[in-house]
Structure 1
Amino acid sequence: MGSAPATLSPDPRLSRLLRPRSIAVLGAGWAQNVIEQCRRMGFDGPVWPIHPTRAEIAGMPCLRALAELPQAPDAVFIGVNRFATVEVVRELAAMGAGGAICFASGWEEAGEAGLQAQLVAAAGAMPILGPNCYGVINYLDGALLWPDQHGGRRVERGVALISQSSNIVINLTMQARGLPVAYVACLGNAAQVGLAELAGAVLADPRVTALGLYVEGIDDAPAFAALAEAARAAGKGMVVVKSGKTEASRAAAASHTAALAGGGAASSAFLRQAGVAEVDTLGALIEALKILHVHGPGIGARLCSLSCSGGEAGLVADLGATAGVVFEPPTDSQKARLGAVLGPLVTLANPLDYHTFIWGDGPKTEAVFTAMLEGYDAGIFVIDPPRPDRCDPASFEPAIRAIEVAQAVTGRPAFPVASLPENFDEDRAIAMIARGVVPLMGLETALEALVAAQRPAGLAGWRPWGVTPGGEAVLIDEARAKAMLAAAGIAVPKGVTAKGLAALDARGLTAPFALKGLGFAHKTEAGAVRLGVTDPCAEAEMPGARGYLCEEMVTGGLAELLLGIRRDPVYGATLTLGLGGVTAELLADTVTLVAPVTRAEIEAALKGLRLWPLLDGWRGRAKPAVGRAIDAALAMQSMMAADPALQEIEVNPLILTATEAVAVDAVIWRQR
C-alpha cells in the first residue's frame, strides 16, 4: 500500500521557464501586453519582441525571426495562431530555449485532431505550458509571460496559485485581502506539463510557502498524491477548489454505488486521503492560503472565539456548528483569570462575549486575550475596524494590538476576523501579515478556512491505484456473483438456481424464500424480486428473467448496509459504504473512499455516518456485526485488486445480524 516518501526538489526542466533571465515574445497585441507587464513589474533581463513585419512593439525594436536572437531565450511567450505555434516550438526546441507558453486556442477542444500531438512532438524535451494557456507570473523576480492585466505586486515570498481556468486565476490576483502571491500559473490543455509536475516545480522554490489550486480535473492522481506528501514534508500546505462536482452525478447509474459516488464524492475522498485541504469558494481559498503562508499546515482544531458582542458570539457559535467547529469551554483556571479582569457580569464561555467593560484599556484587553488563547490551539477575535475613509478607527487599536500580544505571548495563532470581508482594509492586512498575524475577512469564510487549515496529514506513502483501461462491461448474473463473493470469504444466503420456475428444487432450503429473476441490474425496479415465498414453483414467471435464484431469507437482521467498489477513470477505484437497502439513495448516508484503504479507515468512515448510532447499539438495541461488514469491504477490495477486469462490485443490502454480515443482493460488472 505504501510508496517511498516523495520530496520536493527543484525541477531543472522547468526552472528556466518559471524563473527566466531572458524572455522572447512572439505576436503583436498580446505580445505588447507581455512586454508592458514585464516593464511594470521591474523585470531586469532582456525582453526580445519578434515579429516579421513590425519595426517595434511597446517601444522596443523587433527582431524579424527567431534566428536573429542573440542567445537561446529562457522563456518564450508564443502569441501566434495554432498552426504557426507548432513550427515556432520546433525551432525553439532546436535552439535550446528553456520553455514556452503556447497561448493559442483551437486544438483538440476545437476538433483539430492530432494537432496537439504534433505540438508535443515538436517540443521534444523542451517544456511547454498549454496550449490554450494564459501563461505564468513570477512576482518574486518580476518575470511575466502574461498577456493581460493582473492585480499582484512584487513580493519576496508568498503562495503559488495554479489554475485550469485563466479567468478564475486573474480574478484571484485582484484580491484585496493581503495575500502575498509569489507565482501565478495556468495549465491550459496540459498537453505536456501536467498539474503535479507544474505544482511541484513552483513548490520547490524555497520562497513559496503554500499552494492554492483551482482544479477542473486531476490528470495523474498517484503523482498528485506524491506531491501532496512531499509538500507536507516540506511544511507547505495545499488548498484546492475542485469544480465540476455535479458533472460526475450525470454518469449512467447502473448501480446505487455509481449514483452515490458521483457529485464530487470521489474527488473529495481523494483529496482528503491525500491530505489536501478542499474548500468550496474562492474566498475560503484565499483565507486558507493566508493561514498556511504564515503558520503552515495543521494549526490545530481546538479553537476559541472572543468578541465584545453577544450577537457576534452567537453568530460564531451558529456558523461554527455548520463548519464543524466545536468550541470547548474554558478551564476553571482560565475562568479564574478571566473573571478577575472581566468581573461578575460577564459569562465566561466559549465563544466569549467579553463585553465593553475593558474596551480601550490595552493592558486589561491583553490580559483577557492572552488568558483565553493560551488554553486553545488558536483563537478567533471578531473585530471590524471602522472604515478609515469615513470614520476614525483609533479606538480599535488597543484591541488589535492585544490580539498581536496574545499571539506573541502564547505562541498560538491569533486571528483577527472581520464579520464582513470589506471591513478590514488591504493595507492593514498586508502590514499585519508581515508581522506574522493573519487577519481573516468574512466570518463564515474564515471558519471554512480555519477548518481547511486543520486538515490532518494523509497516510504516509498512500497512492491510489492506477487507472485501468476501460472497455465494455457485462453484468454477471447474481448466482455467479454470489459464488465469487463466497469464494472471497463473504457470507451469502443458501440458495438454488434453475432456468425456469418449475425446475427450482428448494427441498434443501428452509422457507420463507427470496425469489429473484436473474439478469437484472436493478431487480426491485424490474419487479424481479419476491420475498416471503413459500413455494417458488407456484409463482408467476418474471418477464425478461434469464433464470431464477431461490434463497433462504436472512433472519435476525439488525441493520442493512451498502458496500460498493468500482473502477474510477481518474482515481483508480472508489469504495462506497453506508446505510443500504432499497432506500439507499433516498437516505444518501454514505461515504466514499479511494482504494486502497485500511481496516481503520473503513471503521472511521462508518463512524462518520449520520446514522452510525444505529450500528452502535442505539438506545440499548443489539449491536450488529460491523466488524464482519468491514471484513466484507476488505474482501471486495482484494477481489478488485486481484482481477483488473472487474469493473464494479456492489452488495446492497449487506444484512448485519449479531454475528454475521450476509450479502443478500449482489451485482458484479466485469469487462469482456
Structure 2
Amino acid sequence: MASLARPLRQDTRLSRLMRPRSIAVLGAGWAANVIEQCRKMGFDGPVWPVHPTRDEIGGVACFRRLADLPEAPDAVFIGVNRHATLDVVAELSAMGAGGAICFASGWGESGEAALQAQLVEAAGDMPILGPNCYGVINYLDGALLWPDQHGGKRVERGVALISQSSNIVINLTMQARGLPVAYVACLGNAAQVGLAELGEALLADARVTALGIYVEGFDDAGAFAELAEAARAAGKGIVALKSGKTEASRAAAASHTAALAGGGAASRAFLRQLGVAEVATLGGLIEALKIVHVHGPGLGGRLCSLSCSGGEAGLVADLGAAAGITFDPPSDAQKEKLGAVLGPLVMLANPLDYHTFIWGDLEKTTEVFAAMLDGYDAGIYLIDPPRPDRCDPSSFEAALQAIEAAQARTGKPAFPVSSMPENFDEPRAEAMIARGVVPLMGIETALEALSALRTDSVDPGWRPWPLVGASPAEMLDEAKAKALLARAGIAVPRGVTAPAPGALDRSGLVGPFALKGLGLAHKTEAGAVRLGVTDPAAEPPMPGVQGYLLEEMVTDGVAELLIGIRRDPVYGATLTLGLGGVTAELLADTVTLVAPVTGPEIAAALRRLRLWPLLDGWRGRPRPALGAAIDAALAMQAMMATDPALREIEVNPLILTQDRAVAVDAVIWRET
C-alpha cells in the first residue's frame, strides 16, 4: 500500500528563527556569549545587541530599544529575567520579528503555569522556543542563538538534534565520532512550539539528513506520528532516545495492565509502530544517526560479521545475542567462494574469523569481504587501527580499503567497527563518512544502533487514538464486567450471582465451580477465589466482598493469556498482551501496542513473547486457539473505541482451549 503521507512543509513559521539573516540579542552576559559564538562560527548577517544603558556588548554597538533596530529581526535571543521577557516578547510580536528564544527559567517548570500562559499570549503568532530554553545552533549557516560553548563546527549537510535537556545536547555536540551535526535545538518548556513542529522545521531543510531526539515526554502523539510519516516519505529517518516518564503514564490503577504497560512500554510501542528507531544510550544515538545520515532510514535484519580474531568473533556473537541480533551462517555458495581464498584452515561461519592469511593483500581481502557481504543486508568488520600518535597504522590500510571496496562492489552497507570508541580517530571517521562508509565506534553501541534500525513494516496513515479527558471512574464488579464482554461477543463462563453463598442457584450449571467474591480488583490476593467448589452453600463467607459469583470452571484449557487495554494520557490507548494468571507481573513477559491495531499485528506481537513457544506447541503441547484470542483482543479494542466512558478493560486470564477463548476473570473501569 502506497503511503499517502503529506510532504514536509518547506516553509514553516519557524523558518526565519531557524535560518535567520539577522539576529538580535537582549541581556548582558548571555548576549555577549551569543555574539561570541556567532562570530566564531562565521555568521555573515548582522547581530544587534539591545540594552537600555550599555554602549556595547561583545564589541558590538548597542541599540537602546527594540524600536531602534534597522528592521524587525529574524531571530532574537532573550536573555533577560522572566518578567521582563513578557514585555520583550509582546513588543517583538508587534513589530513582526521572526521568532525568539526565551532563555529565562521560572515558568511552568516552577509551578508558574499562569505566568507561562501570559507568555504564550504575549507571543501571539510569533513563534517562541521555551521558555526555560537554551537555544538553537545552525551549523549550516553559522547562526547561533546559543549562550554557551559547544563542540560543533560548520558543515554543508548533516543531522539535526532536538533535546529536552540542554546539558544532554551540549554533551552530544562534543562527540568525536564523525557525526556531522547540522542543527541543535532545545525545546525548554515547549509552551508554544512543540516537538513535532520543531522537528518538521529542521527536517524541511534539504541539507538535513536525519533527526535525533532526546525526549522525556511527547506533547502531541498524533502530531509526532504525522511528522514521522512525512519524514519517512522524504527518506529521512528519526532516531529517539526516550528518557523519563510522565506522571500521568506512571499513574497506578488496580490492574496488572497498568503495572505492565507503563510509560516505558507505551513509548516503546509508539515509536516501534511509527518506524522510529529507539536507542537506550547516547552512544547508540550517535552511531544510529551516522548510519541514517549515510544510508537512510531502515536497515535489513540479516547481518554478517568479519574479524581476524576468534576472540573478536566470539565477542560479537555474545554481544549480538544480547542486542537481539542473530548471525545466520553463510550459504554453500558463499562458503565455496570464501574457501577458495581463505583455504582449508579457516572455519567458515558467521561471525567469521578470517585469520591473517590474507592480511595486507588488498585483492584477496576484498574478495573475502565482498563474498561474505553479498549474502546479507549489511556487514560489520571488526578493525581497530593503531593510534596514529604512537603507532604506524599503515598496515591496516588494505583492510580498510577492502571494506570500502566490498560496499562499492555489493551495494550493501559495510561498517568498520572498532572494539572501543577511542580506537577509531575522528579525522579518519569524518573522511570515511564523506566517502559514504560509516565507521562505528564500540562493539556494544554499534550493535545497539544496528538493532534499533531494523524497524518493522509501518502501517501507512496510522495514528494513535485521540486523547479522552480523565474523570472519576469506578470499577465494575466482575459479573457486570463479564456481561459487557459477552455483549461484545467475548465468551465468558456461565454463572449466577447472589448476596451470599447459600443463595446461589447452581441449577442449570455444570460443576466443578469457581466461587468468587465481587467488588475486589485482586481477588486472589484477598482470598476471594475458590476453585473446584462442588457445594457453594457449604463455603464460608468471604470478608469484604459485595456479593458472590458462581461460575462453571473451564477444565480443558491449554494456555492462559492476559489481555488488557487502557486509556493512556499520552498515546490514546494501549493494548497489553502476555502470559496470564497470577504470575503475570512476576513474569513481566508482555508486549504492548498502541491502539488501533490489527489482527496480524496482534499475532506478530504474541510471537515476540519470550514464552511464545508455550503457545506454539512446545514439546508436543496442544496448540491453543490463538485466532479466538486475537478476536477477543479486537473485540475489547472495539469496546473502547465505541464507548469513551470505558477507562480500562483487563481479562486475566483468558483461558484458551484448542477451539475457543474464554474470559474467566475480568476487570473493567468506567467513568462515573
Report the TM-score range of the alignment, normalised by the length of the smaller protein: over 0.9
Match of 2:167 in 1: 167
Match of 1:588 in 2: 588
Match of 1:327 in 2: 327
Alpha-carbon offset, residue 341 of structure 1: 1.5
What SS does structure 2 have at the residue aligned with 1:337? helix
Q: Is the 8 A contact 1:6 1:227 kept in 2?
A: no
Q: Is the 8 A contact 1:232 1:457 kept in 2?
A: no
Equivalent positions of 1:194-343 (< 5 A) are 194-244=194-244, 251-262=251-262, 264-343=264-343
Q: Is the 8 A contact 1:297 1:454 kept in 2?
A: no
Match of 2:639 in 1: 639
Match of 1:383 in 2: 383
Q: Which runs of 5+ in 1 are unaligned?
A: none
Equivalent positions of 1:7-156 (< 5 A) are 7-156=7-156
Q: Which runs of 5+ in 2 are unaligned?
A: none
Structure-2 change in CA distance of 1:590 and 1:174 (3 Å): same
Match of 1:191 in 2: 191
Q: Is the 8 A contact 2:200 2:227 kept in 1?
A: yes
Match of 1:601 in 2: 601
Match of 1:444 in 2: 444
1:294 maps to a residue whose letter is: V
1-structure distance, mates of 2:524, 2:135: 53
Equivalent positions of 1:455-604 (< 5 A) are 455-604=455-604
2-structure distance, mates of 1:563, 1:103: 46
Alpha-carbon offset, residue 281 of structure 1: 0.2
1:448 maps to a residue whose letter is: E
What SS does structure 2 have at the residue aligned with 1:254? coil
Equivalent positions of 1:633-672 (< 5 A) are 633-672=633-672
The yes-or-no answer on 1:611 pairing with 2:602 is no
Q: Is the 8 A contact 1:17 1:98 kept in 2?
A: yes
What SS does structure 2 have at the residue aligned with 1:183? strand
1:416 maps to a residue whose letter is: P
Alpha-carbon offset, residue 375 of structure 1: 1.6
2-structure distance, mates of 1:197, 1:472: 33
What SS does structure 2 have at the residue aligned with 1:597? coil
What SS does structure 1 have at the residue aligned with 2:380? strand
1:228 maps to a residue whose letter is: A
Alpha-carbon offset, residue 368 of structure 1: 1.4
Q: Is the 8 A contact 1:254 1:521 kept in 2?
A: yes
Q: Is the 8 A contact 2:160 2:182 kept in 1?
A: yes
Match of 2:428 in 1: 428
What SS does structure 2 have at the residue aligned with 1:159? strand
Alpha-carbon offset, residue 2 of structure 1: 12
What SS does structure 1 have at the residue aligned with 2:591? strand
Q: Is the 8 A contact 2:105 2:132 kept in 1?
A: yes
Alpha-carbon offset, residue 117 of structure 1: 0.6
2:167 maps to a residue whose letter is: N
What SS does structure 2 have at the residue aligned with 1:12? coil
Alpha-carbon offset, residue 246 of structure 1: 9.8
1-structure distance, mates of 2:636, 2:337: 56
Greater shift in the superposed pair: 322-331 or 225-234: 322-331
What SS does structure 2 have at the residue aligned with 1:510? coil
1:244 maps to a residue whose letter is: G
1:506-565 CA distance string (max 9 Å, x none): 122112111111111111111111111111122111111111111111110111110100
1:243-266 CA distance string (max 9 Å, x none): 015978853241000111126100
Supply the RMSD in Å over aligned alpha carbons. 1.4
Q: Is the 8 A contact 1:2 1:463 kept in 2?
A: no
What SS does structure 1 have at the residue aligned with 2:13? helix
1:203 maps to a residue whose letter is: L
2-structure distance, mates of 1:472, 1:278: 34
1:334-384 CA distance string (max 9 Å, x none): 222222221111111111111111111121111211221112111111000
What SS does structure 1 have at the residue aligned with 2:14? helix
1:160 maps to a residue whose letter is: A
Alpha-carbon offset, residue 477 of structure 1: 0.8
1-structure distance, mates of 2:113, 2:406: 61
Alpha-carbon offset, residue 629 of structure 1: 0.6
1:457-500 CA distance string (max 9 Å, x none): 42100000011100111011111100000000000010001122
1:17-49 CA distance string (max 9 Å, x none): 000000000001111110000000000000000
With structure 1 as the length reference, what TM-score do the two structures score?
Answer: 0.98
Q: Is the 8 A contact 1:495 1:509 kept in 2?
A: yes
Q: Is the 8 A contact 2:3 2:233 kept in 1?
A: no
1:196-215 CA distance string (max 9 Å, x none): 11001101111000010001
Q: Is the 8 A contact 2:249 2:569 kept in 1?
A: no
Greater shift in the superposed pair: 509-518 or 78-87: 509-518
Alpha-carbon offset, residue 390 of structure 1: 0.9
Q: Is the 8 A contact 1:203 1:209 kept in 2?
A: yes
Greater shift in the superposed pair: 62-71 or 617-626: 617-626
Greater shift in the superposed pair: 451-460 or 175-184: 451-460
2:168 maps to a residue whose letter is: I
Structure-2 change in CA distance of 1:208 and 1:2 (3 Å): closer
What SS does structure 2 have at the residue aligned with 1:566? strand
2:227 maps to a residue whose letter is: L
Q: Is the 8 A contact 1:241 1:279 kept in 2?
A: yes
Structure-2 change in CA distance of 1:248 and 1:348 (3 Å): farther
Q: Is the 8 A contact 2:151 2:174 kept in 1?
A: yes
Q: Is the 8 A contact 1:622 1:658 kept in 2?
A: yes
What SS does structure 1 have at the residue aligned with 2:301? coil
Alpha-carbon offset, residue 622 of structure 1: 1.4
1:356 maps to a residue whose letter is: T
What SS does structure 2 have at the residue aligned with 1:264? helix
Q: Is the 8 A contact 2:417 2:441 kept in 1?
A: yes
1:185-235 CA distance string (max 9 Å, x none): 000000000001100110111100001000100011111111111111111
Greater shift in the superposed pair: 348-357 or 637-646: 348-357
Q: Is the 8 A contact 1:213 1:240 kept in 2?
A: yes
Alpha-carbon offset, residue 501 of structure 1: 2.4
1:487 maps to a residue whose letter is: R
What SS does structure 2 have at the residue aligned with 1:13? coil
Q: Is the 8 A contact 2:248 2:569 kept in 1?
A: no
Structure-2 change in CA distance of 1:247 and 1:390 (3 Å): farther
1:77-121 CA distance string (max 9 Å, x none): 000001110110000000000000000000022122301110001
Q: Is the 8 A contact 1:249 1:259 kept in 2?
A: no
Aligned positions, number? 672
1:269 maps to a residue whose letter is: A
The percentage of aligned residue pairs carrying the same residue is 80
Alpha-carbon offset, residue 607 of structure 1: 1.2
Structure-2 change in CA distance of 1:143 and 1:260 (3 Å): same
Match of 2:626 in 1: 626
1-structure distance, mates of 2:2, 2:346: 53
1-structure distance, mates of 2:12, 2:247: 37
Q: Is the 8 A contact 1:275 1:459 kept in 2?
A: no
1-structure distance, mates of 2:87, 2:543: 63
2-structure distance, mates of 1:316, 1:246: 36
Alpha-carbon offset, residue 584 of structure 1: 0.8
The yes-or-no answer on 1:392 pairing with 2:387 is no
